[in-house]
Chains A and B, each alone.
Chain A
Amino acid sequence: MSAPRPGSYLLGGMRRLGSVTIFLVRLLIQCVPALARPGLLVQQVYNTGARSLIIIMLSGLFVGMVLGLQGYDLLQRFGSEEALGIAAALGLLRELSPVITALLFAGRAGTALTSEIGLMRATDQLTAMEIMAVDPMRYVAAPRFLGGVIAMPLLTAIFSLIGLYGSQLVGVQMMGVDRGVFWSQTQGSVDLHDVNEGLVKSLVFGVACSLIAVHEGYHAEPTAEGVGLATTRTVVASSVIILLLDYVLTAVFL
């Protein structure tokens, strides 16, 4: 086998980007009728959101606790351990919650979406829908995409809350930071701009992760190997895109 020419990677990448963009436009068009089917939508928010709750909450707790430990250690060197609340709240809201939630979402819900849709393709279910004059973009892809987009900000908010509780648990209960100071500093220094940054990030990540997951599943090779490969691609592509977008969004918000 001869080595692929360097240009072929670039071409392949461009082709993929183009196909994802066209897919997104088709998806967005189908989202309008999908919104009129709240039953399907609720089911998908449950599938992607509610089923990711445990992993999100557990991770949030531990990330918050680590943040409490590290933050306390660092701030104590400057004698300003009361600022732990601010550090934890800002770190979580603006950065850690959206990014880690999105990464976990890609691993938990994204892979599930890809393999589910890929298997529907492999077992002719999508073709059967087309023959029954039911557009699978409308019935299968759009509700799953929207479900992910709705679920992501909600999961991020839950991650932030639990994370904040976790850092409070370590900072206040274990390390002895004053409870009143912790909360009042947090309350005083977090403003709407910080919350918005987290919200916008989580929305963008929600669109990116759901789009990649649904696209990969929809275009998976209809074989066992193809579905496995598509699932892997979902995780890899989502993770890289999340971190890349995170940098761009942070630069925009600062």
Chain B
Amino acid sequence: MSPAAAAADASTAPAGDVVVAVRDVHYAAGGRPIFDGLDLEVRRGRITAIMGPSGTGKTTLLRLITAQIAPERGHVEVFGEDLATLGRRGIYGLRRRMGMLFQNGALLTDMDVFENVAFPVREHTDLPDSLIRLLVLTKLQAVGLRGAAGLMPAELSGGMARRVALARAIVMDPEVLIYDEPFVGLDPISLGVIVRLIKRMNEALGITSVVVSHDVHELATIADDSYLLSAGKVAAAGAPQQLRDSNSAAVRQFMTGSADGPVPFHYPAPDYAAQLLEAGER
């Protein structure tokens, strides 16, 4: 790391300043184990990427971090507080310091873009309308959609909806911003815009970011730290470059996108030839 980069790093990320810590988490859904001793940390002021093939529980991890579900074993700590020890009020208190960008935006469909962004402010503060207007317009300007303030969510494209959701997620100035699959289903232009916005939110506002995605190439350009989940554990951790250079078969399969490897191409099935020869309806 160059001295300048190290200095910049030190100013935004004091050593040991862990915002989110997941410690030895076990979790199963519908009898299927999803996490089996998961450990990871998100440090302040950095962009942490969480990658993994579909079905490895990336979204489940976000639900654990935002206290929508509780682990069966282990602890999830956010801002140094163990979520299991907090009541509803405490969890709502923590959530006010977080923002989350949903895969589909999750905008409230009965109000326009402006009101959607203003929604958390109206719910949590008594600010006068004139101030709310300034706040909302500033955030919309940041995502380039000030001109779309009067549109309804149904009139927005997927990329625009995600940008409005981003404006809504940052309107209360959160310390942590969580992105759930922010790159899915976007055209190259919208995708580039979202990538740049994530980087800019992190640099300009100093927001700690957690990005969950399986898009290796996009993440590699912005992530400071990354974790690769596989089989309920962290299969690899480090800078994106380190993951790429890894010699673990599971990591290499994911990073290069090979069809077969430790994650098999074929869903478990009886012997192919035997099944073809056997009489039966299916």
The 5 A-B pairs at the shortest CB distance, nearest first, are namely A124-B106, A128-B106, A133-B92, A133-B95, A131-B100
A59 interface hit (Cβ, 8 Å): no
Interface-forming stretch among B119-127, B142-150, B194-202, B223-231? B119-127
- What residues of chain A lie closer than 8 Å to B172, measured between beta carbons? 132
| Interface of B toward A, CB cutoff 8 Å | 66, 68, 92-93, 95-96, 98-100, 102-104, 106-109, 119-120, 123-124, 165, 168, 172
Q: How far is the CA of A123 from the CA of B110 in the complex (A)?
A: 13
Chain A interface residue count, Cβ-Cβ cutoff 8 angstroms: 15
Q: Which of A119, A127, A139 contacts B68 (CB 8 A)?
A: A127
Q: Are A123 and B123 in contact (CB under 8 A)?
A: no
Taking A123-B109, A124-B102, A130-B95 as given, write out 5 further A-B residue pairs in contact, using a Cβ cutoff of 8 Å, ordered by the A residue number: A124-B104, A128-B107, A128-B108, A131-B100, A132-B95
- What residues of chain B lie closer than 8 Å to A129, measured between beta carbons? 108
- What residues of chain A lie closer than 8 Å to B120, measured between beta carbons? 132-134
- What residues of chain B lie closer than 8 Å to A132, measured between beta carbons? 95, 119-120, 123, 168, 172
Q: Tell me, rounded to whole Å, the shortest Cβ–Cβ distance linking B180 to chain A.
A: 9
A76 interface hit (Cβ, 8 Å): no
Contact flags (1/0) for A99-122 with B, using CB distance below 8 Å? Answer: 000000000000000000001100
Q: How far is the CA of A124 from the CA of B104 in the complex (A)?
A: 8
Q: Are A131 and B109 in contact (CB under 8 A)?
A: no
Q: Are B92 and A128 in contact (CB under 8 A)?
A: no
Q: Are B108 and A125 in contact (CB under 8 A)?
A: yes
Nearest to A139 among chain B residues (CB) is B123
Q: Are A125 and B109 in contact (CB under 8 A)?
A: yes
Q: How far is the CA of A133 from the CA of B106 in the complex (A)?
A: 15
- What residues of chain B lie closer than 8 Å to A133, measured between beta carbons? 92-93, 95-96, 120, 123-124
Q: Are A131 and B66 in contact (CB under 8 A)?
A: yes
Q: What are 8 A-B interface contacts by the 8 Å CB criterion?
A: A127-B106, A132-B120, A132-B123, A132-B168, A133-B93, A133-B96, A133-B124, A134-B120
- What residues of chain B lie closer than 8 Å to A124, measured between beta carbons? 102-104, 106
Q: Are A127 and B102 in contact (CB under 8 A)?
A: yes
Given A133-B92, A133-B95, A133-B96: A128 and B102 interface contact (C-beta under 8 Å): yes
- What residues of chain A lie closer than 8 Å to B107, measured between beta carbons? 125, 128
Q: Tell me, rounded to whole Å, the shortest Cβ–Cβ distance linking B54 to chain A.
A: 18
- What residues of chain B lie closer than 8 Å to A131, measured between beta carbons? 66, 68, 95, 98-100
Q: Are A128 and B100 in contact (CB under 8 A)?
A: yes
Q: How far is the CA of A183 from the CA of B113 in the complex (A)?
A: 55
- What residues of chain A lie closer than 8 Å to B102, measured between beta carbons? 124, 127-128
- What residues of chain B lie closer than 8 Å to A135, measured between beta carbons? 92
Q: How far is the CA of A129 from the CA of B92 in the complex (A)?
A: 11
Which of B68, B99, B120, B124 has its CB near the most chain A CB atoms (within 10 A)?
B120
Q: Tell me, rounded to whole Å, the shortest Cβ–Cβ distance linking B125 to chain A.
A: 12
Q: How far is the CA of A245 from the CA of B158 in the complex (A)?
A: 47
Q: Tell me, rounded to whole Å, the shortest Cβ–Cβ distance linking A196 to chain B.
A: 37
Q: Tell me, rounded to whole Å, the shortest Cβ–Cβ distance linking B61 to chain A.
A: 14
- What residues of chain A lie closer than 8 Å to B96, measured between beta carbons? 133
Q: Are B123 and A125 in contact (CB under 8 A)?
A: no
Q: How far is the CA of A133 from the CA of B99 in the complex (A)?
A: 10
- What residues of chain B lie closer than 8 Å to A130, measured between beta carbons? 68, 95
Q: Tell me, rounded to whole Å, the shortest Cβ–Cβ distance linking B111 to chain A.
A: 11
Q: Tell me, rounded to whole Å, the shortest Cβ–Cβ distance linking B174 to chain A.
A: 10
Q: Are B106 and A125 in contact (CB under 8 A)?
A: yes
Q: Tell me, rounded to whole Å, the shortest Cβ–Cβ distance linking A140 to chain B.
A: 9
- What residues of chain B lie closer than 8 Å to A134, measured between beta carbons? 119-120, 123-124
